[in-house]
């Protein structure tokens, strides 16, 4: 048994995957897949009936009726059969229309591929370009599932960390470029960043595109949080500056902006030449995304701006409140994010974020994501999702304050 801390409970030491599977002859990369500390904390916290969780990246608003109604109508109309592998043409066209409105882009549908989640889009992109032993240079901190996807592709990951300078997270572009070698197949960037809220500038995007072109390196841009910005309609996109045939994949999802986390629907964009490749990968993976969910997503893109703005207004108010409370609590250090609905913070004296996360569960029934779940640079940090009601947020921060002062 492993003692969690002097006041807490105990949790059985899990058997190693290798011990449990060593007679099954499984793939090496699966048997040795690195642990996800964020998922570990969520599982650990669920044993407590009174847990308050701000550990996952979702709000507490249900999907709005106008989106759900679109899916209901599709179900009523019998839209429950296999659909096109890369998504309904109407759905792909609606994404194209969305890019036209948002970025003034002419994005043909043969560059848009609907997927069963943004995570699935990442797996498709990596499957298309990586060979075993290839290298991916990833800007961190970053969501652990993306790093895990690289492991499953049997590639190597090199982390290049953002740095905190004068109250902001910044990317050292020279360091990022210097990290690339002859074995580098792709550069992975999440902007806006989960968990820091950092946003890549248009100048940085231009410079990285030029560098990647010169080296023949792919860029994979995770733009799932592009609409979660507080002073602009959307974060800058690589698509705004890229040529149509650039080695560029962008990843997006309906989960965050339109409160559709459980719908599991996203999309991938790439050069038109890869459409048949992505189609084959999708065919052998999941065949096609659910048809009726796409009809809900069409409504989200057509009519979702008012709902999104209401959410942004709440999140902005919550963001200000979180940092007021941080200042009052003391011992909390954090850079106010430019975007997203996360506070990524450190508590003075708490260097082991995983242990601190467990103690918060045990002592005050609060579940937060440990920063070590987002890469090496995240050690010592915690992530709090503030995309919730003010009452729930106040309760969570009251618990955090008690947990810090215990």
Q: Which residues sit opposite 232 in a β-bridge?
A: none
Which CA distances in Å does 177 have to 56, 147, 156, 214, 217?
A: 32, 19, 17, 11, 11
Identify whether residues 96 and 211 lie together within a single domain.
yes
pLDDT top residue among 32 and 111: 111
pLDDT of 107 strictly over 80: yes
**Domain encompassing residue 217:** 81-303
Per-residue pLDDT at 309: 97
**In terms of C-beta density within 10 A (0-12 exposed, 13-18 middle, 19 or more buried), how is residue 80 classed?**
exposed
pLDDT of 6 strictly over 80: no
Identify whether 167 is part of a domain: yes
- Among candidate residues 244, 273, 303, the one where a domain is terminated: 303
Identify whether residues 298 and 317 lie together within a single domain.
no
Element containing residue 396 per DSSP (H, E) = helix 390-405
Is the preceding omega at residue 192 within 30 degrees of 0, hence cis?
A: yes
Identify whether residues 42 and 103 lie together within a single domain.
no
pLDDT top residue among 228 and 33: 228
Is the preceding omega at residue 141 within 30 degrees of 0, hence cis?
A: yes
Q: Are 200 and 237 in contact (CB under 8 A)?
A: no
Q: What is the CATH number of the domain that holds 393?
A: 3.90.1150.10
Question: Distance between CA atoms of 38 and 375, rounded to whole angstroms?
Answer: 11
Identify whether 70 is part of a domain: no
Question: Distance between CA atoms of 62 and 40, rounded to whole angstroms?
Answer: 25
Q: Are 143 and 136 in contact (CB under 8 A)?
A: no
Averaged pLDDT, 84-113: 98
Question: Distance between CA atoms of 388 and 315, rounded to whole angstroms?
Answer: 8
Per-residue pLDDT at 348: 95
Helix (H, G, I), strand (E, B), or coil: what is residue 168? Answer: strand
Question: Distance between CA atoms of 326 and 334, rounded to whole angstroms?
Answer: 8
Question: Distance between CA atoms of 224 and 251, rounded to whole angstroms?
Answer: 6
- Dihedral of CA atoms 269, 275, 279, 281 in degrees, nearest 10, equals -70
Identify whether 68 is part of a domain: no
Per-residue pLDDT at 5: 40
pLDDT of 17 strictly over 70: no
* Radius of gyration for the alpha carbons in the chain, expressed in angstroms and rounded: 21
The total of other beta-carbon atoms located within 10 Å of residue 369's CB is: 31
Q: Which two tokens stand for residue 357?
A: 């996360």
The per-residue pLDDT for range 304-318, each reduced to its tens digit, is: 999 999 999 999 999
Which residue carries 């999941």 as its tokens? 286
pLDDT of 15 strictly over 80: no
Element containing residue 382 per DSSP (H, E) = strand 381-385
pLDDT of 362 strictly over 70: yes
Please, how many CA atoms are within 13 Å of residue 222, restricted to the half-sphere of its CB? 30
Question: Distance between CA atoms of 65 and 279, rounded to whole angstroms?
Answer: 32
Give the number of domains in the chain: 2
Confidence category of residue 166, pLDDT binned at 50, 70, 90:
confident
Identify whether residues 297 and 153 lie together within a single domain.
yes
Q: Which two tokens stand for residue 216?
A: 């023949």
Helix (H, G, I), strand (E, B), or coil: what is residue 348? Answer: coil
Identify whether residues 199 and 333 lie together within a single domain.
no
Identify whether residues 317 and 279 lie together within a single domain.
no
Identify whether 329 is part of a domain: yes
Per-residue pLDDT at 9: 42
pTM, two decimal places: 0.92
Identify whether residues 296 and 311 lie together within a single domain.
no
Q: What is the CATH number of the domain that holds 206?
A: 3.40.640.10
For the chain, percent of residues with pLDDT exceeding 90: 88
Question: Distance between CA atoms of 53 and 99, rounded to whole angstroms?
Answer: 34
pLDDT of 10 strictly over 80: no
Nearest by Cα to 265 from 112, 115, 121, 125 = 115
- Among candidate residues 303, 330, 350, the one where a domain is terminated: 303
Q: Are 200 and 191 in contact (CB under 8 A)?
A: yes
- Among candidate residues 303, 337, 370, the one where a domain is terminated: 303
Per-residue pLDDT at 2: 36
Identify whether 72 is part of a domain: no
The total of other beta-carbon atoms located within 10 Å of residue 210's CB is: 11
Poorest-pLDDT segment among 11-25, 165-179, 217-231, 385-399: 11-25
The per-residue pLDDT for range 257-291, each reduced to its tens digit, is: 999 999 999 999 999 999 999 999 999 999 999 99
Per-residue pLDDT at 20: 58
Please say whether the dihedral angle defined by the alpha carbons of residues 85, 299, 264 and 354, taken in this order, is positive or negative. positive
Per-residue pLDDT at 16: 53
Identify whether residues 201 and 341 lie together within a single domain.
no
Which CA distances in Å does 290 have to 48, 75, 115, 208, 269?
A: 34, 11, 9, 35, 19
Averaged pLDDT, 181-190: 98
pLDDT of 8 strictly over 80: no
For the chain, percent of residues with pLDDT exceeding 70: 95
Q: Which two tokens stand for residue 251?
A: 């990843």
Identify whether residues 165 and 234 lie together within a single domain.
yes
CA-based diameter of the chain, in Å?
60
Per-residue pLDDT at 29: 82
Nearest by Cα to 358 from 348, 347, 366 = 366
- Dihedral of CA atoms 222, 67, 57, 267 in degrees, nearest 10, equals -20
Identify whether residues 277 and 332 lie together within a single domain.
no
Identify whether residues 54 and 100 lie together within a single domain.
no
The per-residue pLDDT for range 195-216, each reduced to its tens digit, is: 999 999 999 999 999 999 999 9
Identify whether 188 is part of a domain: yes
Identify whether residues 10 and 46 lie together within a single domain.
yes
Question: Distance between CA atoms of 352 and 43, rounded to whole angstroms?
Answer: 19
Identify whether 343 is part of a domain: yes
- Across the chain, what does the average pLDDT equal? 93
The per-residue pLDDT for range 287-301, each reduced to its tens digit, is: 999 999 999 999 999
Identify whether 212 is part of a domain: yes
The total of other beta-carbon atoms located within 10 Å of residue 398's CB is: 15
The per-residue pLDDT for range 122-152, each reduced to its tens digit, is: 999 999 999 999 999 999 999 999 999 999 9
């Amino acid at each position: 048994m492993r003692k969690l801390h002097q006041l807490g409970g105990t949790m059985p030491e899990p058997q190693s995957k290798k011990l449990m599977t060593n007679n099954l002859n499984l793939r090496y990369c699966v048997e040795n897949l690195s642990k996800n500390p964020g998922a570990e904390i969520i599982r650990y916290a669920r044993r407590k009936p009174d847990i308050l969780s701000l550990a996952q990246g979702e709000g507490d608003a249900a999907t709005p009726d106008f989106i759900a109604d679109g899916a209901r109508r599709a179900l009523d109309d019998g839209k429950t059969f296999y659909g096109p592998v890369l998504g309904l043409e109407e759905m792909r066209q609606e994404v194209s229309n969305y890019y036209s409105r948002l970025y003034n882009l002419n994005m043909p549908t043969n560059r848009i591929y609907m997927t069963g989640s943004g995570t699935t889009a990442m797996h498709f992109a990596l499957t298309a370009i990586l060979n075993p032993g290839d290298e991916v240079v990833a800007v961190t901190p970053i969501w652990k599932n993306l790093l895990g996807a690289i492991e499953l592709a049997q590639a190597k990951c090199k982390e290049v960390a953002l740095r905190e300078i004068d109250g902001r997270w910044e990317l050292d572009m020279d360091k990022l470029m210097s990290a690339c070698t002859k074995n580098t197949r792709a550069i992975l960037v999440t902007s806006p960043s989960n968990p820091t809220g950092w946003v890549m500038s248009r100048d940085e995007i231009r410079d990285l595109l030029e560098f990647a072109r010169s080296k023949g390196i792919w860029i994979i841009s995770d733009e799932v949080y592009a609409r979660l910005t507080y002073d602009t309609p959307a974060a800058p996109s690589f698509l705004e500056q890229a040529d149509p045939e650039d080695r560029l994949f962008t990843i997006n999802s309906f989960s965050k902006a339109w409160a559709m986390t459980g719908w599991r629907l996203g999309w991938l964009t790439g050069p038109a030449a890869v459409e048949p490749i992505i189609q084959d990968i999708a065919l052998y993976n999941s065949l096609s995304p659910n048809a009726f969910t796409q009809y809900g997503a069409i409504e989200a893109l057509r009519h979702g701006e008012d709902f999104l703005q209401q959410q942004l207004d709440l999140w902005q108010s919550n963001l200000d409140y979180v940092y007021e409370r941080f200042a009052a609590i003391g011992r909390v250090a954090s850079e106010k994010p430019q975007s997203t609905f996360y506070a990524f913070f450190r508590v003075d004296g708490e260097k082991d974020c995983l242990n601190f996360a467990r103690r918060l569960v045990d002592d005050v029934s609060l579940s937060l994501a440990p920063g070590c779940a987002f890469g090496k640079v995240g050690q010592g940090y915690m992530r709090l999702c503030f995309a919730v009601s003010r009452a729930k947020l106040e309760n969570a921060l009251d618990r955090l304050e008690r947990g810090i002062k215990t």
